[in-house]
Structure 1
Amino acid sequence: MRALVVYCHPNPTSYTAAVRDRVIDRLEAVGAEIRLRDLYRDGFDPRLKPEELVSYADEACNTAGVAEHVADLRWCDTLIFIYPTWWYGLPAVLKGWLDRVLVPGVAFQMPDENGDIKPALTHITRLAVFTTCGASRWLTFLIGAPGRKTILRGVRLLCAKGCKTSFSAHYRMDSATPESLTAHLDRVGRAVDRWAVVPSHPEEATP
């Protein structure tokens, strides 16, 4: 298993960092290869620059500013996002990562006049989201949970046809208790354990 963990939080001592650490601990326990992209620590610029927009569909040069991130994405078979949900969606830095890294030729193929985009992340067989939400579960789903849908529907559409998905969230973070925080970390660990031990490639499976 080759896991790319895309982590997005400005506070290095946040609860989200504890979630990240639990995910990585469980991946290490099963011998997964791991690459971590800490977007705030690395100073990732989420802004799509004018020249990038001009060359957006040009596969010969549209990854020039994000080549290392693209290499990570092409390397992994498991893609994991860890972030806080703000305004029911993705933090701006993470949304910018999607804008700049998931470009034509990397994440999808541009459509012709009669079709739609075609997936190009078909090597990714596991897709997971670990997040925290200030709002309650019912309010988040009433609004439509746009952050969850962006990844587990939008990005998922670009992955392998049988791509497995996982989602774990701690809701009502503003009224969280030590007990609820601890219990959620345990849920996160169990969620990783459920799919991390399953081979990502058919040739790795035991006959």
Structure 2
Amino acid sequence: MRALVVYCHPRKTSFTGAVRDVVVQKLEGVGADVRVLDLYARGFDPVLTAAEHEGYEACPDNCAPVESDVADIRWCDALIFIYPTWWYGLPAVLKGWLDRVFLPDVAFLMPDGENTTIRPGLQHITRLGVFTTCGASWWLTQFVGAPGKRTILRGIGVLCAKPVKKVFAAHYLMDSSTDKSRKKHLTRVAGKMDRLVGVPQRQAGPV
């Protein structure tokens, strides 16, 4: 398994970092090759420039400004996003990463003479995970439509392999969280990861 973890949080001491650590530990526990993209630590520029937009469909030259990120996407077969939900959606840095990296001939294929709509370009990805925190309640998030969750699990999910295994976990009411609720959520994250990637096989003891 080749797992790409896309991590997005500006503060090193955030609870989101603890979620990342559990995810990475679970991946390493099943022997996965793991790459972590820390968008804030890299200082990733989320702005799609006029020049990039002009050459958006000019494949493969469109990949040049984000060449290493595109290589990571093409390398992985498991894709996991870890981020805080802000205003019911993705942080601007993460949304900009999608804008700049999920390009034609990378994430999808453009319409052509035989196809009137886009076609999936991520069919090598068989596992998709989302782990997030929300200041709002579950009810209010659903009322608004949970756009961040939908962007990834539906929007990206439809471009992946069929079937694609998906997991999602969110800690709601994060601003009033407690030690107990955070520990409970980390246990939930661990369980979701077991569903996504499996449980490490126990080594047989000496006979």
| Counterparts of residues 30-109 of structure 1 (less than 5 Å) | 30-109=30-109
Runs of 4+ in 1 over 3 A off after TM superposition: none
Matched, 1:191 2:192: yes
What RMSD in Å do the two structures reach over aligned CA positions? 1.0
Provide, for residues 46-79 of structure 1, a one-character-per-residue CA deviation record: whole Å limited to 9, x for no partner: 0001100000001121011100000000000000
2:128 aligns with 127
Deviations 1:118-165 (A, max 9, x none): 001000000000000000001000000000000000001111111111
Report the AA paired with residue 47 of structure 1.
Answer: V
Q: Which consecutive unaligned segments of at least 5 residues does structure 2 have?
A: 200-207
Deviation at 1:115, TM superposition (A): 1.6
Separation (CA, whole Å) in 1 of partners of 2:160 and 2:136: 29
**Matched letter for residue 128 of structure 1:** G
Deviations 1:182-202 (A, max 9, x none): 00001101110112128xxxx
TM-score (norm 2): 0.94
Q: Output the amino acid matched with 2:92.
A: A
Question: Which amino acid is the alignment partner of residue 41 of structure 1?
Answer: A
> Which residue of the partner structure matches residue 202 of structure 1?
none
Q: Secondary structure at the match of 2:16?
A: helix
Q: Secondary structure at the match of 2:79?
A: strand
Equivalenced residues, count: 198
Amino acid at match of 2:5: V
Counterparts of 2:189 and 2:58 in 1: how far apart (Å)? 39
CA contact (8 A) 2:125 2:164 kept: yes
Which structure 1 residue ranges, 5 or more long, are not aligned? Answer: 199-207
| Aligned equivalents of 1:172, 1:23: Cα separation in 2 | 21
